[in-house]
């Protein structure tokens, strides 16, 4: 009886196992042939791919261009394509050699060990023109093609702005369940604008050269190569950014020259409030997750940059008596610790020399007048954010151009508003005050415009392949109250004095060919380097030309010792380079 039961169990086990195998085979061969597993693998297509070799001319993903239409990531480059089967057949290599001015021996040498199609361009020492491509294709040699191929630009700019793409089949299927036509190998946006505009950038179809091979890689149906092109006149789209490629390159080159290893730059067009350049350091390295963050969108300790807010609030609340003087030989807590010896200074002079005691005194008086004075004024200046463009885009009700941007803050605990020392530390941009470099740039642009605050835009249009407009991003005002024109005017005077005064913290910029207005900042971070030295965030933020403002610029170097900071030198060099283009 036991033997019989065992035989029954064994039989059932084998039947179940065989059924599972049959089902698996059926799934592979019949049921899930076009969407197998969680990745949605197209088994039919993969089986075809095993018997084909191809050259992808264009992967079909959308592009990014700058405000002038110049590509920010890819370029179309004249290229020569040679297929592997040329090694095994007789073909007029001398005619091709004569057409492109590359020796026949060199062409044969390059073909010797290839197993996949060979693509040659300027990077490989083969410089071709449109005329050369015409000559190549006129020869009509099977397996030899002259094409324009999409390839990465040698020196790309705006890496953190554009972001990166990668393969993630599970996320692809989750985000786009209706796009079963997409291969599980389709690249999707991981960071930056690649992620933000991913749905618009997804490929419609690839453009490629393709031929069939047997198991040894030999032509299966002769030497005919098939050209598969995307005939859609609308896709791929182009995302037209507000970035100026030349200005972006200037900013990146200057930071490299001044050895700013952590920090960055934000440059805005004051009239339109558009981003002309944005650089984040360290440089993006997709194999190191620590480099993926765009620090220009992250809240940082601002230090004395925040005194701009205290000054604005003092003006708004009528505490800016020009005749009043403050004892700037005292420290921020009103103590005479011997650390400073600046004597009695007016508000204007205190701002120029960045006297701590003046602004802790004013902050205390402001808190007595209005417990929310500081955050309300910061909001009026367009500092706290998020300040990036947001609005309705097709079916997106709250589309954000810069979704990675974080909001700034002033208070970590509401109880601190009643603690004198906490108010003092807050007044000089320490304690819990953190704002983004983008927010600081927006504040400077707001002041330069006379108090009008706007959303910051980094993308202007989405364009169809044929150049027609798919969507335009309007210029939007930031909601909420704003500072008065009078306050803006007085702040402009204070910011100009920082540079114009012989003792101002920005006096270095007096030698620039155009006038600058701005404010410096040094913020303690609470960190130390390997030598035990304190590390700071070093800032300079302002606008220029000060008489007719055109650009708002912020430079910040993070986690640096005060002596090593390249902030002011970077600000100086960027303004100096841009001044050559200002008419």
3 state SS of 131: helix
d(CA 492, CA 495): 5
Peptide bond into 30 cis (omega under 30): no
User: Alpha carbon 489 to chain centroid distance?
Assistant: 33
How many helical (H) and strand (E) elements, i.e. helices and strands, does the chain have? 18, 21
Specify burial of residue 480 (Cβ count, 10 A radius: 0-12, 13-18, 19+). Answer: exposed
Tokens at 129, concatenated: 């023109």
d(CA 551, CA 444): 9
List of residues 6+ apart from 127 with CB closer than 8 A? none
- Which parts of 53-168 fold into alpha helices (H)? 93-100, 104-111, 130-139, 159-162
d(CA 560, CA 537): 6
CA distances from 461 to 193, 277, 456, 568 (A): 13, 17, 14, 34
Count how many residues are written for the chain: 583
CA-nearest of 333, 317, 410, 332 to 366 is 317
Please give the helix or strand (H or E) that residue 547 lies within, else none. none
d(CA 263, CA 538): 9
The residue annotated as part of the active site, out of 79, 183, 238, 304, is 304
Output the 3-class SS for 209-240. EEEEECCCCCECECECCEEECCCCCCCCCEEE
Residue 579 annotated as catalytic: no
List of residues 6+ apart from 140 with CB closer than 8 A? none
Residues 329 and 340 sit within 8 Å (Cβ to Cβ): yes
Q: Tokens 């297509």 correspond to what residue?
A: 45
Q: Tokens 């640096």 correspond to what residue?
A: 560
d(CA 229, CA 90): 29
Scored b (16 or more CB within 10 A) or e, 367-376 reads: beeeeebbbb
Answer positive or negative: Cα dihedral of 244, 274, 393, 40: positive
CA-nearest of 569, 545, 548, 566 to 557 is 566
Q: Tokens 């993070």 correspond to what residue?
A: 558
Q: Tokens 């080159």 correspond to what residue?
A: 253
d(CA 76, CA 58): 9
**CA atoms within a 13 Å half-sphere pointing along the CA-CB vector of 274:** 18
Q: Which residues are catalytic?
A: 304
């Amino acid at each position: 009886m036991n033997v019989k039961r065992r035989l029954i169990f064994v039989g059932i086990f084998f039947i179940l196992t065989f059924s599972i195998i049959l089902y698996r085979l059926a799934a592979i061969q019949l049921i899930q042939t076009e969407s197998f597993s969680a990745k949605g693998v197209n088994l039919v297509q993969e089986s075809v791919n095993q018997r084909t070799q191809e050259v992808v001319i264009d992967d079909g993903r959308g592009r990014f261009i700058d405000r002038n239409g110049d590509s920010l990531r890819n370029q179309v480059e004249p290229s020569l394509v040679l297929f592997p089967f040329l090694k095994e057949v007789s073909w007029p290599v001398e005619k091709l050699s004569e057409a492109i001015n590359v020796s026949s021996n060199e062409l044969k040498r390059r073909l010797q060990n290839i197993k996949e199609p060979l693509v040659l361009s300027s990077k490989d020492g083969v410089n071709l023109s449109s005329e050369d491509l015409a000559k190549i294709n006129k020869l009509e040699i099977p397996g030899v093609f002259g094409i324009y191929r999409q390839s990465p630009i040698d020196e790309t700019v705006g890496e953190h702005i554009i972001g990166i793409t990668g393969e993630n089949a599970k996320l692809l299927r989750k985000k786009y369940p209706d796009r079963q036509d997409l291969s599980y190998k389709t690249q999707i946006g991981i960071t930056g604008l690649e992620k933000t505009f991913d749905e618009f950038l997804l490929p419609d179809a690839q453009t490629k050269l393709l031929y069939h091979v047997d198991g040894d890689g030999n032509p299966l149906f002769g030497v005919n190569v098939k050209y598969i092109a995307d005939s859609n006149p609308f896709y791929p789209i182009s995302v037209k950014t507000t970035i100026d490629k030349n200005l972006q390159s200037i900013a990146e080159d200057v930071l490299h020259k001044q050895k700013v290893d952590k920090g960055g730059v934000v440059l805005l067009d004051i009239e339109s409030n558009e981003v002309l350049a944005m650089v984040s350091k360290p440089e993006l390295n997709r194999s190191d997750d620590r480099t993926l963050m765009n620090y220009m969108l992250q809240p940082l300790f601002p230090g004395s940059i925040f005194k701009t807010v205290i000054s604005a609030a003092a003006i708004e609340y009528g505490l800016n008596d020009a005749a009043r003087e403050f004892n700037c030989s005292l420290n921020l807590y009103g103590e005479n610790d011997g650390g400073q010896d600046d004597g009695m200074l007016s508000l204007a002079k205190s701002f120029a020399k960045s006297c701590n005691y003046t602004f802790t005194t004013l902050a205390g008086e402001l808190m007595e007048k209005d417990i929310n004075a500081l955050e309300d004024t910061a909001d009026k200046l367009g500092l706290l954010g998020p300040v990036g463009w947001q609005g309705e885009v097709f079916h997106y009700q709250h589309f954000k151009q810069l979704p990675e941007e974080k909001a700034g803050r002033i208070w970590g605990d509401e109880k601190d508003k009643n603690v004198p020392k906490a108010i003092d530390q807050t007044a000089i941009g320490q304690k819990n005050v953190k704002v983004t470099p983008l927010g600081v740039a927006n504040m400077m642009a707001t002041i330069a415009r006379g108090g009008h605050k706007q959303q910051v835009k980094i993308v202007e249009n989405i364009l169809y392949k044929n150049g027609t407009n798919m969507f335009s991003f309007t210029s939007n005002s930031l909601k909420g109250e704003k500072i008065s024109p009078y306050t803006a005017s007085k702040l402009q005077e204070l910011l100009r004095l920082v540079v114009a005064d012989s003792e101002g913290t920005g006096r270095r910029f007096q030698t620039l060919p155009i006038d600058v207005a701005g404010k410096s900042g040094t913020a303690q971070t609470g960190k130390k380097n390997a030598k035990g030295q304190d590390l700071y965030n070093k800032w300079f933020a302002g606008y220029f030309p000060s008489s007719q403002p055109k650009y708002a610029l912020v430079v910040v170097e993070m986690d640096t010792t005060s002596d090593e900071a390249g902030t002011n030198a970077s600000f100086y060099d960027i303004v100096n380079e841009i001044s050559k283009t200002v008419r």
